[in-house]
Amino acid sequence: MSVQAEYVGYRVTEGCNAGQACRDRCFSREGGTTPPDPSIDEVRLSLWTLREAGIRAVNLMGGEPTTRDDIVDIARFAHDIGLRVILTTNTIALTKERLDELAPYLDWLSVSIEADNQRVNDGLRGRGQLAAVTQVIGWIGEENYPFHLKVNTQVTAQNMRHIDNIPHFFCGNVEIWKLLQWTPRGDAKKVMSIYAVSPEQYEETVRRERSLHPGLHIVERPYPEIDPDTVILRPGGDLEVNAGPDYVVVGNILTEDARDVLAQAGMIYSRLNVANRMELNESYPSWSQNIANRQPAVLYPGMLE
């Protein structure tokens, strides 16, 4: 089994508490109503099935996973059955008490900051999000939590000139800063003219941030993806890959053989990423040449060792 197939992002909820602008450009949903959360029994069965199929690390994500009252129970179960656990959260609903409860079961906490000022950040993420996430970073600096911290920033046309000072919020507590090129999937396809940046604009942003912050571990995630992206598990058991312009349902781990479904996901990713590289070679030859020899980034160091 490949390294990529040993890590799955599990959407334990499709519900979200972010601001309207964030929901309007969301690449993880596409129209319609929000489905109900999977029951705790389904979540446990899904996590157990992943573990039995050879998965070693799971990212508890959404939607916004902290909107679930039982998120601590979910993280505890994943940890107790031997999975490495990442929690991806916008932090809006994350209290100090809840973080204290979650801490023993997390290997990584993954949070978002979209701009180095409240006006732009909260316009993209929701009112109060910058204050919430910086407060969480502060708590991590005060406590001896056993997990690591990663910050994600989506590079868009709206915040591209407002991210240079984001690391000033890190206070030495952040181990990885991930810069993601904005992705036009799902509902996000409707607002491409507002948020999209070209590969060349994105790569220039990455170069600038690496020059400004040489001591930071900066991970890049362009679009289309050069390296395989996260395999996604949806409520109900559908496993998806997202290496193209739309999500592709590979199969269902609760009704089919999970190992076969995961193997199929790996094969689809291989084909799609070859196509993506060819598209970049044709459309942006100079940019593509710059990254031709780039080594795949280790996003969560130590997770699969």
Residue among 244, 248, 282, 281 at smallest CA distance from 265? 248
Side chain identity at residue 24, one-letter code = D
pLDDT > 80? residue 100: yes
SS3 of 112-174: the string is ECCCCCHHHHHHHHCCCHHHHHHHHHHHHHHCCCCCEEEEEEEECCCCCCCCCCHHHHCCCCC
User: How confident is residue 188, by pLDDT bands cut at 50, 70 and 90?
Assistant: confident
User: How confident is residue 246, by pLDDT bands cut at 50, 70 and 90?
Assistant: confident
171/165 Cα distance (integer angstroms): 12
User: How confident is residue 140, by pLDDT bands cut at 50, 70 and 90?
Assistant: very high
Q: What is the pLDDT of residues 291-300, one digit of tens each?
A: 444 444 555 6
Contact 168, 203 (CB under 8 A): no
Return the sign of the alpha-carbon dihedral for residues 7, 13, 16, 17. negative
- The percent of residues above 70 in pLDDT, for the chain, comes to 79
pLDDT > 60? residue 12: yes
184/177 Cα distance (integer angstroms): 21
pLDDT at res. 2: 46
* Residue whose structure tokens are 């030495």: 172
Compute the average pLDDT of residues 128-145: 96
3-state secondary structure of 260: helix
Return the sign of the alpha-carbon dihedral for residues 133, 122, 22, 166. negative
pLDDT > 60? residue 198: yes
- The percent of residues above 90 in pLDDT, for the chain, comes to 65
38/50 Cα distance (integer angstroms): 16
pLDDT > 70? residue 271: no
pLDDT at res. 24: 60
57/270 Cα distance (integer angstroms): 20
Mean pLDDT of the chain: 86
pLDDT > 50? residue 287: no
- Which tokens is 200 given? 């060349």
pLDDT > 90? residue 257: yes
Q: What is the pLDDT of residues 31-90, one digit of tens each?
A: 567 789 999 999 999 999 999 999 999 999 998 999 999 999 999 999 999 999 999 999
Residues in Cβ contact with 215 at an 8 Å cutoff, skipping those fewer than 6 apart: none
Compute the average pLDDT of residues 190-211: 94
Higher pLDDT, 304 or 6: 6
- Which tokens is 229 given? 């992206």
Contact 4, 269 (CB under 8 A): yes
DSSP secondary structure letters along 62-98: SS-GGGSTTHHHHHHHHHHTT-EEEEE---TT--HHH
pLDDT at res. 49: 98
Q: What is the pTM of this model?
A: 0.88
Q: Which domains does the chain have, with CATH numbers?
A: 4-290 (3.20.20.70)
pLDDT at res. 197: 95
pLDDT at res. 291: 46
